Amino acid sequence: MGKATGFLDYGRVDSQACEPKERIKHFREFHPPLSVEERRRQGARCMNCGVPFCQSGMTLHGMVTGCPLHNLIPEWNDEIYNGNVSHALSRLLKTGNFPEFTGRVCPALCEKACICGMDGDPVTVRENELFVIEAAFASGDMKPRTPKVRSGKRVAVIGSGPAGLAAADRLNRRGHEVTVYEKADRPGGLLMYGIPNMKLEKRVVNRRIRLMQEEGIRFVTGADVGRTVDAGSILEQYDAVVLCCGAGEPRDLAAENRQAKGVYFAVDFLASTTRCLLEASEDAREGILPDGGDYISAAGKRVVIVGGGDTGNDCVGTCIRHGAASVVQLEMMPKLPDERAQSNPWPEWPRVCKTDYGQEEAIALFGQDPRVYETTVQALVTDKEGQLTAVRTVQAAFRDGKLEQVPGTEQEIPADMLLIAAGFNGCESYAAEAFGVALTERHTAKTGDGTHRTGREKVFAAGDMRRGQSLVVWAIAEGRACAREVDGYLMGYTNME
């Protein structure tokens, strides 16, 4: 423990976001980092607890609190305070493959379990993590670590999202020859096309992909295994196959006149913007959509978004950057309380209302929170050409665990565009079917209890494809655990932790 009284001497200081009306002018990240001196003070706030709940990754009342990667948080916070960033990096990389991703997009489950947060503000764990990895890249400490000895075993990873990248990274370090197949035109999966640039700039993803290539991992893009690439040939060429195809089957809207023009799935909407930015500049550094760019545009439109989660919020922020005339975000569930309820004590995940960046921007621009709670879509209204003109909503109530519409509460919201951000129904089945892998009732790859092995010889599954729609940090944890199983299968033993 670098400074025994650090949690008493220093208050929590977060990297301050740029003002909403300024940041909506571009798609770049908008949290300038703190000074090194202030970051060291934030590291000093860590209490180095005897039982560090921050790294527990435990489930309490059906909700996870603490880091699923079991990051050695007190250790690298201590090194940050003492100015030993290279030592902090060695501890950070021991459990986390991609701190530059989780340091940007993770909801910081670690901080929710921080003991400093019992009666005050938790340590800035996520920002401390990001500081360490970005300092390492800036100093040149993040060099390719190519295995000195190869095992002679070949592994195919299908999908290059966070689970696939984590599995590939670990298996490559073990000495196996790894090839990653990605159906899109660029590697990264949801890191590339699912998360908007203002949360995760694509230069960050490309930087990591380049490093992995230098370490010996081969990426094959435009390879849709099960459609354009034969699964049988993959099985013949490789000693093991890891399916990390994600949960790519979006949950549709069961509403009258669903086929109206102007209705899009959120994933298609967000991906079109990212692709346009990348085509203008490979790393999308400028963060400005080009005039006449080819993307699904919300410019000048009245937009309704179905879904109150992170993806719905990303749609709010993206629509505002397009220049939407108005944005309304519908949420079926009731508004959560602004403060912890007594029935939701620390260290449980705090079930409180969070106003995210997109909602902050809508409030600044339009003068009100875009969210409408306990509301669902009943029907879509169109003109004679089938173009959406309004969304008919109705209040929603849950009775005996079932969603019911409340009669007499119908309203119409003028709308030119509807974005469906209602989550996912599991993986797209064709990849699993191509490898002969069975699916569960939740439409995820079926594996044995506590294992990543499927019912097909030498085929494994990890990430959202196995777990269902979840967080980036869970996908990385899945990829790491799956890699350990694959290594044991290939070698007869494993020394992976």
Where among 402, 420, 438 does a domain terminate?
Answer: 420
User: Before 347, cis peptide (omega within 30)?
Assistant: yes
Report the domain count for the chain: 3
Given this model, what pLDDT does residue 282 score?
A: 78
Q: Same structural domain for residues 468 and 395?
A: no
Q: Which residues contact 299 (CB under 8 A, 6 or more apart)?
A: 322, 323, 324
Given this model, what pLDDT does residue 78 score?
A: 96
B/e letters for 210-225, b = 16+ CB within 10 Å, e = fewer, are ebbeebbbebeeebeb
Cα within 13 Å of Cα(267), Cβ side: 15
Where among 72, 107, 139 does a domain terminate?
Answer: 139
CATH number at residue 83: 1.10.1060.10
- Residue 453 per-residue DSSP state: B
Q: Same structural domain for residues 115 and 20?
A: yes
Q: Same structural domain for residues 70 and 176?
A: no
Asked, for residue 497, whether it belongs to a domain, the answer is: no
Q: Same structural domain for residues 213 and 169?
A: yes
Q: Same structural domain for residues 318 and 408?
A: yes
Q: Which residues contact 315 (CB under 8 A, 6 or more apart)?
A: 266, 269, 270, 303, 305, 307, 329, 358, 419, 421
For 43, 72, 113, 298, 422, the CA distances from 51, given in Å and listed in that order, are 18, 12, 11, 49, 38
The answer to whether the Cα torsion of 407, 411, 416, 419 is positive or negative is negative
Asked, for residue 86, whether it belongs to a domain, the answer is: yes
Q: Same structural domain for residues 405 and 284?
A: yes
Pull the structure tokens for residue 169: 């990274």
Given this model, what pLDDT does residue 438 score?
A: 97
B/e letters for 252-263, b = 16+ CB within 10 Å, e = fewer, are ebebeeeebebb
Q: Same structural domain for residues 289 and 414?
A: yes
Q: Same structural domain for residues 161 and 128?
A: no
Asked, for residue 299, whether it belongs to a domain, the answer is: yes
Asked, for residue 444, whether it belongs to a domain, the answer is: yes
Asked, for residue 170, whether it belongs to a domain, the answer is: yes
Given this model, what pLDDT does residue 1 score?
A: 65
Single-letter residue type at 135: A
Q: Same structural domain for residues 284 and 429?
A: no
Q: Which of these, 301, 245, 315, 312, lies nearest to 459 by C-alpha position? A: 245
Given this model, what pLDDT does residue 281 score?
A: 82
Asked, for residue 257, whether it belongs to a domain, the answer is: no
Q: Same structural domain for residues 23 and 166?
A: no
Q: Same structural domain for residues 236 and 269?
A: no
- Interaxial angle between packed helices 310-322 and 266-280, expressed in degrees from 0 to 180 and rounded to the nearest 10: 50
Pull the structure tokens for residue 184: 């899109």
Asked, for residue 149, whether it belongs to a domain, the answer is: no
Q: In what order do the strands lie in the sheet with 218-221?
A: 218-221, 177-182, 154-158, 240-243, 459-461
Reading the chain (497 residues) residue by residue, the pLDDT tens digits are 678 899 999 999 999 999 999 999 999 999 999 999 999 999 999 999 999 999 999 999 999 999 999 999 999 999 999 999 999 999 999 999 999 999 999 999 999 999 999 989 999 999 999 999 999 999 999 999 999 999 999 999 999 999 999 999 999 999 999 999 999 999 999 999 999 999 999 999 999 999 999 999 999 999 999 999 999 999 999 999 999 999 999 999 999 999 999 999 999 999 999 999 999 887 777 899 998 899 999 999 999 999 999 999 999 999 999 999 999 999 999 999 999 999 999 999 999 999 999 999 999 999 999 999 999 999 999 999 999 999 999 999 988 888 899 999 999 999 999 999 999 999 999 999 999 999 999 999 999 999 999 999 999 999 999 999 999 999 999 999 999 999 999 999 999 98
Where among 139, 174, 209 does a domain terminate?
Answer: 139
Q: Which of these, 429, 459, 482, 375, lies nearest to 246 by C-alpha position? A: 429
Torsions phi, psi for 258 (to 5 deg): -55, -30
Q: Same structural domain for residues 416 and 434?
A: no
Q: Which domain holds residue 222?
A: 154-249+425-491
Asked, for residue 466, whether it belongs to a domain, the answer is: yes
Cα within 13 Å of Cα(34), Cβ side: 20
Q: Is 384 exposed, middle or buried (0-12, 13-18, 19+ CB in 10 A)?
A: exposed
CATH number at residue 338: 3.50.50.60
Q: Do 405 and 380 touch, CB atoms closer than 8 A?
A: no
CA 179 from chain centre, in angstroms, equals: 23
The residue written with tokens 């209040």 in the block is: 395
